[in-house]
Each structure stands twice: as structure tokens, then as C-alpha cells.
Structure 1
């Protein structure tokens, strides 16, 4: 009996994330009433931008250019978003689930690749976050929009940090498959709860230190001489 190979499951989640984020890029293109070229560009940027940016920083040929499943998935999602209007609660929920699953997969993949070439834990976490959120940032910049991870949206980059740290810890302990699985499950759970509960990081000035109140010291005045009749009784 053949043993289960977890890499295939991770690959399915990875490509599914490309499809989901490509559809999200297509939704942005529809909002701006772009033509077919705009749909393709935003789908590729949203679905593949983070991984391509990671590979460029690691001085490697982007996987999206060598594996046809990735670029093909982005093009398929662009075509679907262009031809169909994905509206309604079921479609939004399905995209949300696929998005957070990919969030964990991509953050773990970025951290693992950084560790694989000998980088430390801090740049590994950073590259994990870049892999997970870079595509959305590029997509928002292309449409002249402030990236959603900069604030005002449910936790996303913070969740990617958690997934990246988990991968760093477990790969360092010699269990990369467990790190990938834990990152996917944790990011999916945290991401969905954050969206439902609208968890956000506090804005600037949310916390403040109490201002000390300095009171000037009162110097006692000259003592009034005691009258001889005071306290006579």
C-alpha cells in the first residue's frame, strides 16, 4: 500500500490559492471596469506576485515561470472572473476559505525556502509574510489603492507572521511537513475568525501613557508669632 504523500496535498492548496487570489484580482478589475488585459494583469499580480517577489529576492528563477500550473491557474481565474460575475454569499465564503488556506501555505513556503538557503529565522519570517501578502499589495498598488494590510481590514499579515513562525520552529526541529500542515490549519482558523469578528490591530494613539502631574512645591510662609493670650485657658 502506497504511503500518503503530503506534498501533493500542499500543492493542491498552493494552486487553489493561486486560483482564489486570481479571482480576487479579477473582482478588483471588474470594480474598475477594466478590459481583458486588466483582468489578466491583476489576476497574475494577485495570485503570483508574492511568490515571484520572494524568488527574485532569493536570486532564483520564479517557480511561476517554470511550473505551468501556476501561470495557467492565474490565467484560468482571470478568464472566469472576466466571463462570470461571482456574487452572493456562497461564492464569497468559498473564496475566503481558499484565501486563508493559501495564506498559511504561502507563508510556510516562503519561510521554508529562506531557511533552505541558510538564512536566519528573522529573514525567513519576513519572506514568509512577503510570499503570503505580496500579491495583494502589488494588486492594490496597481489600481492606486492603499494596500489593505496597512490597516482598516481584518488581520491578514499578522496571521501570516504566525504561520511563518510556526514553520520556522518546526522545520528547525526537523519536521517541515508538520510545519506546513500546522501553518495552513492555524492561518485558516485565525483568518476566518478574524474576518468574522473583525479583529484588527490597534491604530496609532490607541494606547497612551498617563501624563504626570507636577505640582509646584509650596514653600511655607513666615510663621505668625504666637500671641501670648493664645491657649491661655
Structure 2
């Protein structure tokens, strides 16, 4: 009974962090819409893609029924609320947002990675699809949003290690679940993904770039500099 209670508590925590991440990244999508001078439709589309894109991609690939973002109204309403907030308020330069968003963003990466990997295991798939879909859940929305904006996704180079952190967190859950510690795996994945993202932001870690046969580094993706948008767009 204690194990069941702890699992229910962890699921509640995961869902709470999940929704907070949806809201924060929906606001970020709206901020990017504002930076491009989009209209209300642009705000709505970028907010929904930023907040819900990764989960929608995961659930579509798993083919285990209707995506949860369409059956649990809390997800879609949270994304729409984030779009409304970004449409009505301009606060990306406020200190509270600059300090609070990276923490919420990092927690969402860990949470989405754990949720994606866990749902894949529940669907009966193996460890490799679980790691893959855990990572896609965490970064798929932001990657899709960047493509819609006509820019190289930040997870392809130049940004914090969102995809790497999500893959490591997903792998931790898979390992612990295989050892019979699923509840602990959810918590470890959440904390590990969050911690690694925060440290990578703080230390400025990036993934190594490819090298040519001559030993020199290859050019950044697309040969372009950093994206024009001011907020630090994550890969959700």
C-alpha cells in the first residue's frame, strides 16, 4: 500500500511539474510570437506547439489512443492560458521571469523525459525506444517551434544540453525500472534531468561539434550565428 501511495504521489508531482512546464513554455512561445510581431493566431499556434508539441509527437508515435493533451483538458487550457498571458503582458525583461524560467524549464525537461520514457515502457516497448521517446517528449515541441520560425533548432548546436540531459534522464528511468524500482526511477529521472539542465546552463556546456579529417571544427549548423530571438528558447 505504501508503494501504491508513493507512486500516486509521484504521478501527481509529475503531472504538476508537467503542467507548469507546459504553461512556462507556452508563454515562451508567445514571447517569440511577440518578437516576430505575429497576430493572435501566431501567439496561439506557437504557444500550443511549444507547450504540447513533444507530448503530441510521442503519443502519435506510440499509437496507444488519443494523445493525452487532447483528452485531459488541463493541458490544452494551460497552453492557451500561457498564450493569453504572453499576448496581454510583456514581461520577458523582468527579473522574476529571468530567474524563475530557467528553473521551471529545467524541471520540465526532467519531467517530460521521465513521462515519455515511462509511457513508452508501459506501451511494451524496449529500452532504446523509451530513451528515444523520452528525449523527443522533452525537446520535440521546441524543435518544431524553431522550424516553424524558420531557424535551425537550438538543440542542433549553440544552446544548453537539453536533448542530452533528457536522454540521460530517460536512461536513468529505464535502468531503475528494469531493476524493479519504477517509482524511484521517476524521481531520479526528474531530479537528474533538472539538475543537469541547470548545471549546463550555469556552466555554458554544449555538445561537441563535428570535426573534419584535417582536425578542424566544422561550421555551426546552417553556418549562422545565434538566433535573433531574445529569450533562451529551450528544446521542449
TM-score by length of 2: 0.84
2:222 maps to none
Q: 1:69 to 1:151 in 2, by over 3 A?
A: same
Match of 2:19, SS?
Answer: helix
2:177 maps to 171
1:104 maps to 110
Aligned partners of 2:107 and 2:57: how far apart in 1?
Answer: 20
Alignment of 1:47-196 (within 5 A): 47-59=51-63, 60-86=65-91, 87-196=93-202
Aligned partners of 1:205 and 1:172: how far apart in 2?
Answer: 36
Aligned partners of 1:104 and 1:95: how far apart in 2?
Answer: 14
Q: CA deviation at 1:84?
A: 0.7
Q: 5+ unaligned residues in a row in structure 1: which ranges?
A: 210-233
Aligned residues: 208
2:15 maps to 11
Kindly indicate whether the alpha-carbon contact (under 8 Å) linking 2:112 and 2:138 is maintained by their aligned counterparts in 1: yes
Aligned partners of 1:47 and 1:181: how far apart in 2?
Answer: 22
Q: CA deviation at 1:90?
A: 2.1
Aligned partners of 2:182 and 2:24: how far apart in 1?
Answer: 25
Of the two, which has the highest radius of gyration? 1
2:228 maps to none
Aligned partners of 1:141 and 1:48: how far apart in 2?
Answer: 15
Q: 5+ unaligned residues in a row in structure 2: which ranges?
A: 216-236
Q: 1:143 to 1:113 in 2, by over 3 A?
A: same
Q: 1:77 to 1:204 in 2, by over 3 A?
A: same
User: Structure with the greater relative contact order (CA < 8 A, sep ≥ 6): 1 or 2?
Assistant: 2
When the two chains are superposed, the root-mean-square deviation of aligned CA atoms in Å is 1.6
2:218 maps to none
Kindly indicate whether the alpha-carbon contact (under 8 Å) linking 2:113 and 2:193 is maintained by their aligned counterparts in 1: no
Match of 1:149, SS?
Answer: helix
Aligned partners of 1:89 and 1:138: how far apart in 2?
Answer: 28
Runs of 4+ deviating beyond 4 Å: 206-209
Q: CA deviation at 1:206?
A: 8.1
Aligned partners of 1:151 and 1:93: how far apart in 2?
Answer: 23
Q: 1:208 to 1:115 in 2, by over 3 A?
A: farther
